[in-house]
Copies of this chain bind each other. A is one copy, B any other.
Amino acid sequence: MKRIIFLLVAVATLAGVIAFKARASHHSATQEAAPIFVTQIPDGYRDWRLVSVAHEEGNLNSFASILGNDIAIKAYREGRLPFPDGAIIAALHYRFIPSAENNKAFGRDQSFVAGAPTNVQFMVKDSKKYAATGGWGFGHFNSDGKTVDDAFMKTCFPCHPKMKERDLVFTRYSP
């Protein structure tokens, strides 16, 4: 009888442990819904086609060319929203600098070109993997190829939902 009671207690305990683990696992899944970021530079992005160009003044002082992989370009051209899984958009950032040689050739100060590269940013569409951030994974790689810390990366997502009507994407396609 003692042995049966021991067995029942053991089974009950095991059930409890399993239940606890299941809860813990569920809790852990919820935790994983916190932002996760793009940690690898997508292959061949420098060969992708053009979406458009952009310039930010102020501290950024950046000159950007925005490129898209084939899936992204197709979606842009078809006006397809939301972007399908597999779409990747790359923003190649350079310093925005006056061109002394162009200005000399033109005979007036009017010309700005891309200076040194500063960073490349990516938005990778994977509606499951990046469900917590609108289906987009965000990536930032400085010109040395290194990514940045999570504190920096957490500043990406809060701003992008302001473009909710364009699936969180700022850049419009230029014909």
Contact = CB atoms under 8 A, between A and B. Distances in A.
Interface string A37-51: 000000000111110
A14 B7 CA distance: 124
B55 A67 contact: no
A152 interface: no
Contact of A174 (B105, B106, B114): B114
Given A57-B112, A111-B55, A117 B67 contact: no
A162 interface: yes
A65 interface: yes
Contacts of A102: 170
A26 interface: no
A88 interface: no
Interface string A20-62: 0000000000000000000000000011111011111110100
Contact of A65 (B110, B111, B174): B174
Most buried by B among A53, A55, A92, A94: A53
Nearest to A143: B175
Contact of A52 (B48, B114, B159): B114
A47 B101 CA distance: 29
Interface in A104-160: 104-106, 108-114, 117, 159
Top 3 nearest A-B pairs by Cβ distance?
Answer: A105-B162, A55-B112, A57-B110
12 contacts: A49-B49, A50-B50, A50-B65, A52-B65, A53-B53, A55-B55, A55-B96, A55-B113, A56-B110, A56-B112, A57-B112, A105-B162
